[in-house]
Structure 1
């Protein structure tokens, strides 16, 4: 706790009035509305400083390419430009539409009525955000639209069909125009919100055009997607950027408005991570309902051990493990990794293989820092059936499974050579506090990845759990199904009951916790579908 916070807490606990100069310094640093509301009840001067009505109105700003949302967000932007202190209250920005295709913005008549002073404020904000010259003109034109509908003649050149995954906006979709307006608005709002902590957004560039592949970038005097360009500039030179200094959490939302929430949707997660990975305060990137687009070449621009991202959460998704390896290797420090499958249907029935050996090798890079590991993908680890453990064929089965995927050697995203020689086991993870995995993965993790032909030594689970471990969740365990598993679980339970085990809580022994699965028939099993956190149509 920093000195200012300690002082104010001590004053409040002792009933001593808090000096006003400390209140002024402390209040803006509280981000939680709930904590702020509680603190505002402590005394009148703090309550006046808190200004809860303004904080609640500015805390989260949604930018959706719909008239009401766009205009409401624009009005709030103008309030912030007239009174910059309001920008200190903005903690989260939500931008809910993904570009449908790559094309240039067509400038149209400026329809908003602004005073000369407001126009000057808006122009100054665009320049300060880094859009100069022709970029300034284009972004200003986007911001000045009070509708997301572009003139029909301008849209005639953008007719295109909806793709297999639901991408594309249909014919003459006004949202094509609205995406540019929403991106411009979100970009300028970010630039005037110095305390921004969280971004919820769709992919701000177009995957299908290959727009940012092979190292290509747009010309400096052209604006394609303003939000994308703002983020790339800030991430490339964070020390020279005034905004995004406090951004900690990013949630990448798949734009599934055409899928009825039934299918996993493609998103270039690796390229999205490269928009934020060098920011000074960034901690986590997370997403849901994601699938790899096997028809799209994806090259990672993430450099090994260069990313400030330390927490990765990919849930209700269907991704092959090489993606995780690339993300994990890019982290300077990894404290949390979560991957869970299930909750959507895979288009065409394809399933994402999870290669446990390569995954364990990659997280061994972070043995001293990883605190939380949650892997719920054992349904796609076909080599972990109970008989291979009882018969001692685990390594042989994994070898067979890996040989079934030779295409990984030719993938743009593949297992780096630096990972293939790493060995390690569960016991070596000295900082691990919470572990949630399937029974097969747990036992194999405890066995460890080893050099070829190195003999396995007998062990029991209680002997190889990290001393730091506090919570253990075991999925898919059923007593009597596998003798070796039963032996490990019996020893684990005995140690837990005796108090000799450091773990404080174990779940999945008395009552089986099922492994997650893809939804086979989403029309008949809608109750199994994962509901989106954010509704893009709001």
Structure 2
């Protein structure tokens, strides 16, 4: 975790296979399910849908009720593109279950055969749409078939088929899968159709959506999209197993940055409760200085460890000196820093006097891909935080902060704090200090109190010296410590209309 979290911070110094077939909708034979009443007439129903004329400011793609709104919305935006200009926020959280959860049955084979035989030759508007948006020619028929999956007459046919089979498990899963695959493709299209999106909240794991966003980010589509996108929030997976709120999320943060980091208006990418994604591989070495931004100001930085367990029972090990180097890159703009990491700070130097080597770079050459090389071609500067020059002694701490000229608020654990603070400081909170427990910390606090009035004339509020403020604790038994588990605040993500 330390590598990609800290390299993500360091990247801020300069920046801050589409699968188009409804995979898992099994392939076919016959028996046990009545023929859909529309199966022989689907190509005949070409009546245009009426415009909804609804001006949404927020679109959500989450459950089946959301899915049903997407097809008519796409038609609205094709016929009257100006309607799409009101959308400022887009929420995508729809996990696509893996193929292994689905089995071929006689019933689903019949449905799959009917779906494969469906005529889409008259879907001219959808064909023109995917052509204009830059979907490759060989993929367009699959996209059109999937995007037309939720036409009203097809939805009615699905309901009839479900009723005729008493909503059998196999048939229900087939349609659920088809609805979700449709939603992923529809979400990708809508992201390109809405030119004024400023806020995007997105769940990792959609090959379809991520492929479109990545191609847009690297300028590989016919037109540039999401040029006003400012804030991105990476959402926890909605998978019923992987999304267990007792545990940290295994998320490839730097890999997800590839979807947005070159966009011209991007300001922030946020995520909570993250753990190392062991499949990230070379993505840990993300070439910095590869966005369209030339400069970024980081004014506030909060990093807290604890509050959830890890799915494999492991724990994070963090090197405070690496965090210190990353923060030092923003020493002129940082106003507030809140670090609650003492539970995971490497302690070997405290015990053995050992200074950690700064080289964490490892070997990446055999693990690069097309997107890595596109960034590497324009990257400047060191690729790893640890390769930044050491401008001060660090030891097992974040190092001196005397030259953080804008810093007014600091909250930090006693282990990570070296002692040299800036004169601009107005608020100080120290976690984990208990007098008489560690002599070195007592000496450090006594020195601070001796010089406080003269050296820190602006410092009006100090906490954690006369009272012990606990550090964030690890959760080792999530079933027995439910009260300690961190949970995200409720997210306001309902569909919203322009007032």
What's the TM-score once normalised by structure 2's chain length? Answer: 0.65
- Matched residue SS, 1:368: coil
Selected match of 1:283 from 262, 267, 274: 267
Match of 2:134? 130
Whether contact under 8 Å (2:60, 2:493) holds in the other structure is no
Q: CA deviation at 1:291?
A: 1.5
The match for 2:34 is none
Alignment match, 2:115? 109
| Shift, 1:180, TM fit | 3.0
**Per-residue CA distance 1:11-33 (angstroms, 9 max, x = gap):** xxxxxxxxxxxxxxxxxxxxxxx
Q: What displacement does 1:415 show? A: 8.1
Q: 1:372 to 1:143 in 2, by over 3 A?
A: farther
Aligned equivalents of 1:139, 1:271: Cα separation in 2 = 25
| Structure with greater contact order relative to length (CA < 8 Å, sep ≥ 6) | 2
Aligned with 2:303 (options 298, 321, 339): 339
Question: Does the Cα contact within 8 Å between 1:196 and 1:246 map onto a contact in 2?
Answer: yes
1:249 and 2:231 are equivalent in the alignment: yes
Per residue, is there more helix in 1 or in 2?
1
| Ranges in structure 1 where 5+ consecutive residues have no aligned partner | 1-53, 152-170, 206-224, 311-330, 385-392, 447-463
Distance 1:79 1:493, change over 3 A: farther
Give the structure 2 partner of residue 523 of structure 1: 479
**Corresponding residue number in structure 2 for 1:432:** 407
1:419 aligns with 2:390: no
SS at 1:374 equivalent:
strand
CA distance in 1, matches of 2:78, 2:117: 20
Q: Is the 8 A contact 1:308 1:333 kept in 2?
A: no
Shift of the 272–102 alpha-carbon distance from structure 1 to 2, 3 Å rule, reads: farther
Aligned positions, number: 390
Kept in 2, the 8 Å contact 1:96–1:536? The answer is: no
The 2-side partners of 1:107 and 1:442 are apart by 66
Post-superposition offset of 1:273: 0.9
Tell me the alpha carbon deviations over residues 57-81 of structure 1, each in whole angstroms, 9 at most, x when there is no partner: 72221102x3212112333343344
Once residues 241 and 504 of structure 1 are traced to their aligned partners in structure 2, the CA distance between those partners, rounded to angstroms, is 53
Distance 1:429 1:423, change over 3 A: same
Kindly indicate whether the alpha-carbon contact (under 8 Å) linking 2:325 and 2:386 is maintained by their aligned counterparts in 1: no
SS at match of 2:428: strand
> Which whole-Å CA distance do the structure 2 matches of 1:477 and 1:111 have between them?
70
Whether the aligned pair in 2 keeps the contact of 1:200 and 1:250 (CA below 8 Å) is yes
Equivalent residue number for residue 183 of structure 1: 184
Change (3 A) 1:465 1:266: same
* Cα pair distance change 1:257/1:438, threshold 3 Å: same
SS state at 2:271 partner: strand
Question: What SS does the aligned partner of 1:228 have?
Answer: helix
In 2 relative to 1, CA 497–178 (structure 1 residues): closer, same or farther, beyond 3 Å? farther
Whole-Å Cα distance in 2 between the matches of residues 481 and 288 of structure 1?
A: 33
Inter-partner Cα distance in structure 1 for 2:383 and 2:317: 14
Residues 309 and 477 in structure 2, CA contact (< 8 A), matched pair in contact too:
yes
Per the alignment, residue 72 of structure 2 pairs with 75
Change (3 A) 1:122 1:507: farther
Q: 2:93 aligns with which of 91, 96, 108?
A: 96
The equivalent of 1:513 in structure 2 is 469
Find the partner of 1:59 among 43, 57, 60. Answer: 57
In the alignment, is the contact (CA less than 8 A) between 2:133 and 2:221 conserved in 1? no
Q: Is the 8 A contact 1:248 1:282 kept in 2?
A: yes
Show the 5 A alignment for 1:82-481. Answer: 82-101=79-98, 109=115, 120-146=124-150, 176-205=177-206, 225-237=207-219, 241-255=223-237, 256-258=239-241, 259-294=243-278, 297-300=281-284, 302-307=286-291, 334-383=298-347, 394=350, 396-397=352-353, 399=355, 402=356, 409=362, 416=384, 419=387, 421-424=389-392, 425-443=400-418, 446=419, 464-481=420-437
Contact 1:284–1:309 (CA<8 Å) still a contact in 2? no
| Deviation digits for residues 463-503 of structure 1 (CA, Å, limit 9, x no counterpart) | x3234444433222233433443444456567667894334
- Contact kept, 8 Å, 1:61 with 1:73, in 2: the verdict is no
3-state SS of paired residue (1:199): strand
**Aligned to 1:59, what secondary structure does the other structure show?**
strand
- Pick closer, same or farther for the CA change 1:173–1:271 going to 2, 3 Å: farther
Residues in 1 aligned to 2:296 and 2:343: alpha-carbon distance in whole angstroms? 30
User: For 1:515, what is the secondary structure of its paired residue?
Assistant: coil
Shift of 1:409: 4.4
- Which residue number in structure 2 is paired with residue 21 of structure 1? none
Q: Please say if residues 358 and 420 of structure 1, whose CA atoms lie closer than 8 Å, have aligned partners that are also in contact.
A: no
CA distance 1:186–1:442, shift in 2 (3 Å): same
How far residue 344 of structure 1 moved from its aligned partner, in angstroms, is 1.7
Structure 1 residues 406 and 332, CA, compared in 2 at 3 Å: closer, same or farther? closer
Question: After the TM superposition, which of the residue ranges 434-443 and 471-480 deviates more from structure 2?
Answer: 471-480
RMSD: 4.4
Higher deviation after alignment, 75-84 or 493-502: 493-502
Length-normalised TM-score, structure 1: 0.61
| Structure 1: distance between partners of 2:119 and 2:227 | 33
Contact 2:215 2:221 in 1 (8 A): no
Aligned partners of 1:500, 1:418: CA distance in 2, in Å?
A: 31
Q: Indicate how the Cα distance of structure 1 residues 499 and 474 shifts in structure 2: closer, same or farther if over 3 A, else same.
A: same
* Contact 2:70-2:183 at 8 Å conserved across structures: no
**Alpha-carbon distance in 2 for matches of 1:107, 1:198:** 40
The runs of 5 or more residues in structure 2 that have no matched partner are 1-52, 101-111, 159-171, 369-381, 393-399, 495-499
Contact in 2 for aligned 1:79/1:86 (Cα 8 Å): yes
